[in-house]
Amino acid sequence: MKEKIPSIITNSEIMSKGLDDKRIAEAIEGFGYDKEKITRFRQKLSKAKESIYSQTIERQQMLNANQEFFDKRLAVDKVIKNDVRLCSMMFTVNPGLASTLPAFLSINSYSVWYNGYMTFYKGLLSNSVALNILAECKFTADKIKDRIAVLEEVNGLNAARGIEKGESEAATIERDNAVADLYDERRRIREFARQALGSDSQLLEIIGMKVAR
């Protein structure tokens, strides 16, 4: 199917309108393409248009979910890096603690980023020595818990965008199937029309069939 989707819809709408012409409808009915089949074609046209609309909505929702996730993760990454810098400065009094600090993790590898920094914060929360040192600059256990909560929020956004991606892909498959079904039905009508209308270029053009002159 080389024809683009917008063209398939436009040409199918032209054909649907043209089939209101009694001369055309009666001619192709004489070859077996009756009113019931015309109704079926129009139903397929409606289904294809609805599926295109649904796919457009689902794709936009996926893009929105992706953008929300990326924006939130970028903002959180900046906060985390400041926390790591703070800990690096405060832990100079304790080389053992300083050696446990993570390097700045790449934002492009989500699982490494998320798991690495979650481990970092949970490690701080469970280390009384670290908590005592950080308390001097008011970086408390409650703030660390807030950071963990924010990371969990980012992880929730990541899961949500995965769901949106799946729904968008399903909508795309549904759209493609509906359009392909419409395309095949329109092709059948064209075949009937060629047989029923012969070389009547005027009637053929009414249903969108170009005739060489």
pTM: 0.84
Give me 18's structure tokens.
């043209």
Helix (H) or strand (E) holding 128: helix 128-135
Mean pLDDT, consecutive 10-residue segments, the chain of 213 residues? 91 96 92 93 98 98 98 96 92 84 81 93 94 94 97 98 98 98 95 88 89 63
What secondary structure letter does DSSP report for 109?
S
Q: CB–CB of 202/78 below 8 Å?
A: no
Per-residue pLDDT, 69: 97
Q: Which of 88, 114, 83, 89 is nearest to 100 (CA)?
A: 88
**Domain locations in the chain as residue ranges:** 5-206
Per-residue pLDDT, 212: 62
Per-residue pLDDT, 107: 76
Residue 143 main-chain phi, psi, to 5 deg: -65, -40
